[in-house]
Structure 1
């Protein structure tokens, strides 16, 4: 039976265990230039030392106004490559593989003077009204994603993740709540995402997997659910996605008039969504969402509900979460020689 410390391989990505550090924004760029800092270096390399097998670098944006804030990472310039390459090289040296999440915040770009979106619908009453992209600008945006993927590959990453979740630009295009266009990108809600996937695949080595982060359920009235997200995922899979990273929500603020549900607060609340996508598409999935308990994370793998488990808050609290999990589960894993005394039974 597979477990949390079983190795895993998909295409050319070989992982020593099933533990993923998901992308989590650090808002720690110092000069608003999108360039990774020493904080990012220490943050990611420490999790590699701590035993995670696959580290996905946080939301990294394709243009300055695509950032949630001006303190986010970017890959719109070649000047941003060396700092990321330094992180990738060090993470590799400590036994982990690296992905990077390529994204655009769309209407959720807080520091953009005028955010852009598929349609001029603000996130909430306190947000700026975004400008609807023209058809030509949408096509230019696809090209910006392609160039950012190209730069990520130059930085040496092992996988690319396209961010299609949490109410950011791709999610905005494939959600009927936020896409009210009457052009080709409104008549076909997955066209924008598919074109980004196809452009990314054209830049990627054949054996490099493409991951897509997907909100498999929306929590607003009129939003889509798991049935619709299976349909979205099938279109994206046909376009070239190899792995889905299953999350939910982000399409609108919670507690508003239009909200009919809320994300769960219980452990593993998003696992059923990952399981449904895995079953419907016969595709590898990453489960995420309150999976900090090693026994629960291990059960998700053992019960074949997901292929990989992402642990976010747990790794923010404890860089060595994976090493601690191996101890609690009584599984074998390589411990850095400098830390052996700390993990001896």
Structure 2
């Protein structure tokens, strides 16, 4: 028997309960893992609260991330005792995820825990950090350099945003952080490396097709009218890495930024990111993230606290990363 957070649906409402369940209830996959840590992302918050159509079947164990140790494996790539990390692949949505003391997963979904990283630190990074790294790499690949100009990061108080701010600052970029909680989080974002912080409300007004050129690059976690505003303010031959929809999945923009300023809109996905690219991003994260990041932008909670924190994260009341100790 082991402990798990189980989501059920009753009368179209999602319930979340901590239960002791038997190992035989786990899906039959190739690798059985003793979960050390999971994390709580915005998507997990939507799943647990039922505010978003995230879970595709019930009952479900949420948790799109996990770090732990292999108990047994039918795949030769992993053996008992190996430390592994999982992010994405629909785990916690269509397949039981990380908010349980054990998980049964496909070997293809796993990566080895990078050298120099603990399981807890891996979850302090998690899907959010991996996505942040992929966004930063997308800007680099698009030719945006530290001397190109200021880089805007929306949703900077969240998991993806806080990692992106840290990585960009470490690489020498001038970072402008956007947050709806500037009084609460402005100083933290500067400690993470932002050169300045601006209010989210500055980007919530309807965008004209083209506005004053302000940004050499941008990482957007919001979507909707915020992304539209950002696109209208991009420099000539700049790039935007888009990875989120916290403000909505619509995009009320025009073709003008793309055809008159050569702006590149780069979609970034970490869910089905190929193995080689995923491993490279993890290794780069270990190299670039300073030790101070783990103290400044992360909070540890118990599994029993997950439902309350899920409510808070969907209400925009969580700063940085939340790790769950199993």
TM, length-normalised to structure 2: 0.28
- Larger relative strand fraction: 2
TM, length-normalised to structure 1: 0.27
- Larger relative helix fraction: 1
